[in-house]
Structure 1
């Protein structure tokens, strides 16, 4: 007679591969899946009847900024409440390591993310050790940020790096990869890295191939220059010889709506030519980042997420704030700095086209610590499952799950994750396909999703359908080739 710690019975099993689902049982022993299918002869200390519910691999958030949240709010309720069991951090060029001793203050806007530099780490070994000593409720994989490398060796950021600085950054990246970082990310959109030419990125990234690591990028431009930026990304991936991943792909501002036909065409052409390329997206037509006064007039709507100068404006529309102050939108934004904002700049047709691309992973890109965050921090994965898969029929439920599990695990080299199979890690989410939906709204963004019945990470329950259990079984993950 076979025994297990937990058996979930009569569930609709969605295995993460995109294959058709089926009804069956799943057994967990310790941190692994030990039985799958008809387990009528099995017994467990705990059994759950999951009739009418779907059981899938735990969701992998392909694009996060939870580097610090893992330590400061380790239960990470915004993520576990939507079924996430693994987060990929170190994105958009910023990571908490390496940070050599004696470096000056972080440049804005990154200083807003980490106001206390004692929260940075000299190298990834130290960061990963802290995460191991003080585990979170989710697993984590981390990239090394190009902007963090620039800060580690350069005295100013309004120029290209010198050959000596490039060598120093390459050496730091090599050490980071040896210690378990999964690749290098860039944030060429942001001022601390925007002066870096393509050649700088390629020369630093020359060490990536030896580790079969990844190049992941918040591209230089997602608006008027979006096509050129995709071309730049493909060039960097080609010349470094590693997979290139376009982060939160979008085409911003009305004059660029529809250009996803071109950008996705470029990606498809590169794939056809044998290049390894990937991308991720979030299911909203609004993005969120720092408040840039020079960019507010290009958006249809701007919501302030936080402001150091005027914290009482969090959650309010910039147009209302500007009217009260008797200022233009740009002048009002300047008054609020440093600050963050939600920008409504995308088109629904582009969003659907990007989400529908067979290689698009799902990433929240949420800033969970913001006082009034973008709702994607709490609602990304249920929104894909409920709104786009079930209600809109953009793709089958099995395909939606694949975009947030098996596809992402394969792309990031997460062995034993993202699939339901015997021997895989017991990262699981149990949900009602008919009821799951995002509850978070732009006006009220910090609301757990509906329709989730349980989330397990490494075999331990982290979310019971109503609240965090307090369990923190998360592990530091490294990329396997």
Structure 2
């Protein structure tokens, strides 16, 4: 006797996630699995959802996020769920909250927790993942092990190469993280202490990941003037270690570097011809958001947390050198201060205003305003830098090796803390923006191809064979949306706005989002290596 379905999604336009044309079909689900696709109208079922005219897709997989910062305190992950995201990869850019300790070097990570009303209650990645699992979350989470966090656990913030003993200790810490379930290694070579590592150190760690059949994801050392050299460095690490490479949020920052993505994609072509496995990800915006210090100061002037940076900038000689470097950057066309807007700052009145505007209000040079602000050391200051070209964004997106990664933190727009922070709108709009702007309006991607970039392509990188496509036997992570009504609503001015147009989201067969409202289901899993 054939068992009844728990749910049939009836009459939708089914996208398999592999790039095939959409077909009208029903999908039958039993438990957490897809068990049949086809004409199922005569079959017995406990529940039917009529999704006629809607696209039925594998749930979207966000390959690049930082939601390890929020998952314990925002288990509904509403900003992601509203876009149809069913799985996120956390621990990117060399930063893993699960590897934080009580050591002084992790003061910034502890501050993030304290701001959310929490505290560090684990000592390793395994303990963190157990906490996440016990707390429950709306969507799936898997994690990379952050190189910067590993380095801080072993070497603190020391600006030097590791000794043999220290390198072995980092390799041991990485092995422990992989055993706990990490799927690979990430680096953030634009940030300290990751910026202190060389190719030899990174390759030695990447070899540990290669042995575990993981991959290496990197926020490059430089995404502007030294973009091509930084891509070459990343390829050298992957080639030297013999493991797959993921180039994170690929772009060319600052006007004088626009167009370099043609060269970097050619570098990827050449490396692939030699047998290196390389894929890329991207968010579809012309602004990035990060620490104001990273945007405005030379690498040698940066420090690991606001307090350390403030101490450095109180040194008159260092401050004068940094000011001169900033002036040269401005004179050479490397930056325009009116393209830099404060996003988070202890002084709430600064949020949303450009450096040029704030400096004029303070009747001072923009450089002096930045240096004075960062010298206060009272908290994290981040900024949005409108530094990329739309032509480059489109060119990268048109490459079939590029998947979608928001580089964001999952949020709840109704949380009390939401208004105190102005996130990049990518937190709320990345996937909706691809479908609305680059599929529906511009026609840069076909709908099946866009969905492939959001589903089976990241699943391929992650080694997932039972997610990222709609086939019998796959886990029922499913997104149902209107191809005409899908819409990004978040802006830089008003970022806390959920995307619309996603009708239903299933995670492991449970309805987690329906008609614009989360159901409260916590069906997400911690997906370990």
Matches within 5 A, 1:92-111: 92-99=93-100, 103-106=103-106
- String of CA shifts for 1:336-393, please: whole Å, max 9, x gaps: 4431111111011111111111110100001346711110000000110111011101
Residue equivalent to 1:134: 135
Q: For the Cα contact (< 8 Å) 1:307–1:336, is it kept in 2? A: no
Q: CA deviation at 1:334?
A: 3.3
Could you tell me the TM-score, scaled by structure 2's length?
A: 0.87
Name the SS for the 1:462 alignment partner. Answer: strand
Q: CA deviation at 1:174?
A: 0.9
Matched, 1:301 2:370: no
Matched, 1:473 2:523: yes
Q: Could you tell which deviates more after superposition, 403-412 or 328-337?
A: 328-337
Matched, 1:433 2:483: yes
Matched, 1:213 2:214: yes
Q: Could you tell which deviates more after superposition, 149-158 or 118-127?
A: 118-127
Cα RMSD over matched residues? 1.8
Matched, 1:414 2:456: no
Distance in 2 between the 1:30 and 1:177 partners?
Answer: 30
Distance in 1 between the 2:57 and 2:205 partners?
Answer: 39
Residue equivalent to 1:46: 47
2:407 equivalent among 355, 362, 365: 365
Q: Could you tell which deviates more after superposition, 290-299 or 246-255?
A: 290-299
Query: Could you say if the C-alpha distance between residues 287 and 175 of structure 1 is closer, same or farther in structure 2, counting changes exceeding 3 Å?
Result: same
Q: CA deviation at 1:394?
A: 0.6
Residue equivalent to 2:317: none
Q: CA deviation at 1:286?
A: 0.6
Residue equivalent to 1:144: 145
Q: Could you tell which deviates more after superposition, 26-35 or 246-255?
A: 26-35
Matched, 1:262 2:263: yes
Name the SS for the 1:167 alignment partner. Answer: helix
Name the SS for the 2:280 alignment partner. Answer: strand
Name the SS for the 1:3 alignment partner. Answer: coil
Q: For the Cα contact (< 8 Å) 1:440–1:449, is it kept in 2? A: yes
Q: Could you tell which deviates more after superposition, 457-466 or 351-360?
A: 457-466
Name the SS for the 2:340 alignment partner. Answer: strand
Matches within 5 A, 1:136-175: 136-175=137-176
User: Gapped runs of 5+ residues in structure 1?
Assistant: none
Q: For the Cα contact (< 8 Å) 2:500–2:516, is it kept in 1? A: no
Distance in 2 between the 1:367 and 1:24 partners?
Answer: 35
Bigger proportion of residues as helix: 2
State which structure, 1 or 2, has the greater radius of gyration over its C-alpha atoms.
2
Residue equivalent to 2:387: 345
Q: Could you tell which deviates more after superposition, 223-232 or 20-29?
A: 20-29
Q: Could you tell which deviates more after superposition, 206-215 or 396-405?
A: 206-215
Q: For the Cα contact (< 8 Å) 1:96–1:120, is it kept in 2? A: no
Q: For the Cα contact (< 8 Å) 1:96–1:119, is it kept in 2? A: no
Distance in 2 between the 1:120 and 1:214 partners?
Answer: 28
Name the SS for the 1:419 alignment partner. Answer: coil
2:351 equivalent among 314, 337, 359: 314
- String of CA shifts for 1:293-330, please: whole Å, max 9, x gaps: 3278515612211112x123223333222221223323
Q: For the Cα contact (< 8 Å) 1:84–1:138, is it kept in 2? A: yes
Query: Could you say if the C-alpha distance between residues 368 and 317 of structure 1 is closer, same or farther in structure 2, counting changes exceeding 3 Å?
Result: farther
Q: For the Cα contact (< 8 Å) 2:96–2:146, is it kept in 1? A: yes
Residue equivalent to 1:449: 499
